[in-house]
């Protein structure tokens, strides 16, 4: 389990800053939510697990990752969101401005959380967190989420989709004529996240995931019998762990980042293909084949998908034989071409996938980001 510290080797002043911020947040919440409603306030994410990022600045160590909280309340999460959501959003904005990193809250309740399907996030939260309000052992009631082997295969796919989306957004910036230092830092950060995710997804699909990124790297070193470029994967993962624990502003220029991006994207396709072949039990010889290979979300309900598409796209979402397909499938399909085989990304096909007219790269990127923001 995680330690009482928020980082692996951050300074005392950084540890105090994060702790004091969490305590201030607890006091703020107590001022507008009745104590009898509060089951627990849990700090999740890297800082909750004791592996938060430490950014070295001229003024000393500074926080880097988001502060992610789960607020468990008695009663319906939806009703609690309506009742307290506005105040929680104001608190997010206030504390984000104060500490200089994003502060985020998710409202739920222990019963709903405990009975839900295990995800990588729920596993990480149960295995590594810090409680600031309510029951100190609140998440001990959620033992079903504490087994990494119960993480479903589509969670590995979802992780890869999100981190490879970061590679796609980096590709968009790297192919622009203008390229700023902020663009360079964005690209470096998303490449590092993808390097970490490549190994993490491989562990997850084999039921060998671990809440600690350092432990995951050790486990990855022991996976020698997989037909993948494991030396590169392990080295990429090691680099990703280093960046996660000690993020930094990149000194790499555009050409160097472009070369690194291409190497990571190439390995990412190998792992993406491997994971999807295991999950879908079907050979995926190329990104083009994958994009047209049928249902990517068999774990979803066809009836619910039809309603979701109607809500998201209107009656247009029921055209082209996609009525019963979950919208995330469009992200998987289009990602495979936009990132790994751009020349095969036919505009009419992209328009069908996005349920929106696509006339070029920028249209495709705008449509992708809009859909990704809803179904990542």
Write the pLDDT tens digit of every residue in 320-358. 788 999 999 999 999 999 999 999 999 999 999 999 999
* Whether residue 190 has pLDDT greater than 80: yes
Name the percent of the chain lying above pLDDT 90: 93
Would the pTM count as exceeding 0.75? yes
Task: 340-345: list long-range contacts, CB under 8 Å, 24+ apart.
Answer: 340/265, 340/269, 340/287, 341/286, 341/287, 341/288, 344/287, 344/288, 344/291
Phi, psi of 176 (to 5 degrees): -80, 150
* Whether residue 92 has pLDDT greater than 80: yes
Write the pLDDT tens digit of every residue in 236-259. 999 999 999 999 999 999 999 999
Indicate the range of 67-81, 314-328, 358-372 predicted with least confidence: 314-328
Task: Output the pLDDT for position 294.
Answer: 87
Nearest to 72 by CA among 117, 125, 120, 21: 125
The domains located in the chain, with CATH, are: 12-146 (3.30.460.10), 152-280 (1.20.120), 285-376 (no CATH)
* Average pLDDT value for the chain: 95
Residue 353 CA to residue 356 CA, distance in Å, equals 8
Task: Output the pLDDT for position 315.
Answer: 86
Write the pLDDT tens digit of every residue in 152-182. 999 999 999 999 999 999 999 999 999 999 9
Task: Output the pLDDT for position 3.
Answer: 66
Task: Output the pLDDT for position 318.
Answer: 86
Residue 80 CA to residue 88 CA, distance in Å, equals 11
Name the CA dihedral angle for 103, 332, 349, 176, rounded to a multiple of 10 degrees: 50
> Are the CB atoms for 36 and 49 separated by under 8 Å?
no
Confidence of residue 235 (pLDDT cuts 50, 70, 90): very high
Task: Output the pLDDT for position 121.
Answer: 95
Task: Output the pLDDT for position 317.
Answer: 83
Residue 87 CA to residue 81 CA, distance in Å, equals 10
* Whether residue 316 has pLDDT greater than 90: no
DSSP 8-class letter at 118: P
Task: Output the pLDDT for position 2.
Answer: 53
Write the pLDDT tens digit of every residue in 33-59. 999 999 999 999 999 999 999 999 999
């Amino acid at each position: 389990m995680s330690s009482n510290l928020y980082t692996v080797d951050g300074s005392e002043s950084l540890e105090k800053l994060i702790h004091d911020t969490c305590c201030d947040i607890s006091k703020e919440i107590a001022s507008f939510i009745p104590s009898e409603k509060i089951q627990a306030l849990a700090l999740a994410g890297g800082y909750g697990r004791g592996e938060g990022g430490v950014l070295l600045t001229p003024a000393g160590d500074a926080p880097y990752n988001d502060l992610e909280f789960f607020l468990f309340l008695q009663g319906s999460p939806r009703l609690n969101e309506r009742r307290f959501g506005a105040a929680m959003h104001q608190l997010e904005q206030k504390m984000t401005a104060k500490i200089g990193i994003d502060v985020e809250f998710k409202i739920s309740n222990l019963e709903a959380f405990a009975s839900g399907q295990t995800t990588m996030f729920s596993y990480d939260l149960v295995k590594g967190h810090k409680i600031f309000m309510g029951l100190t052992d609140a998440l001990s009631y959620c033992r079903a989420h504490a087994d990494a082997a119960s993480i479903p295969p589509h969670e590995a796919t979802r992780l890869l989709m999100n981190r490879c989306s970061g590679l796609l957004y980096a590709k968009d910036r790297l192919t622009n004529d203008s390229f700023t230092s902020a663009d360079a830092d964005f690209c470096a950060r998303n490449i590092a996240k993808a390097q970490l995710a490549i190994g993490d997804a491989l562990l997850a699909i084999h039921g060998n995931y671990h809440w600690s990124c350092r432990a995951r790297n050790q486990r990855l070193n022991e996976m020698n019998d997989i037909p993948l470029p494991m030396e590169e994967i392990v080295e990429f993962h090691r680099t990703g762990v280093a960046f996660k624990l000690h993020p930094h502003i990149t000194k790499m220029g555009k050409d160097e980042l472009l070369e690194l991006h291409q190497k990571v994207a190439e390995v990412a396709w190998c792992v993406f293909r491997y994971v999807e072949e295991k999950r879908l039990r079907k050979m995926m010889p190329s990104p083009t084949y994958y994009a047209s290979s049928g249902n990517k979300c068999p774990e979803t309900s066809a009836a619910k998908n039809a309603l979701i598409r109607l809500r998201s796209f209107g009656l247009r979402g029921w055209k082209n034989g996609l009525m019963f397909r979950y919208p995330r499938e469009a992200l998987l399909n289009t990602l495979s071409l936009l990132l790994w085989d751009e020349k095969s990304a036919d505009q009419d096909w992209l328009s069908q996938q996005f349920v929106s007219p696509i006339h070029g790269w920028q249209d495709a990127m705008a449509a992708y980001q809009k859909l990704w923001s809803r179904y990542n």
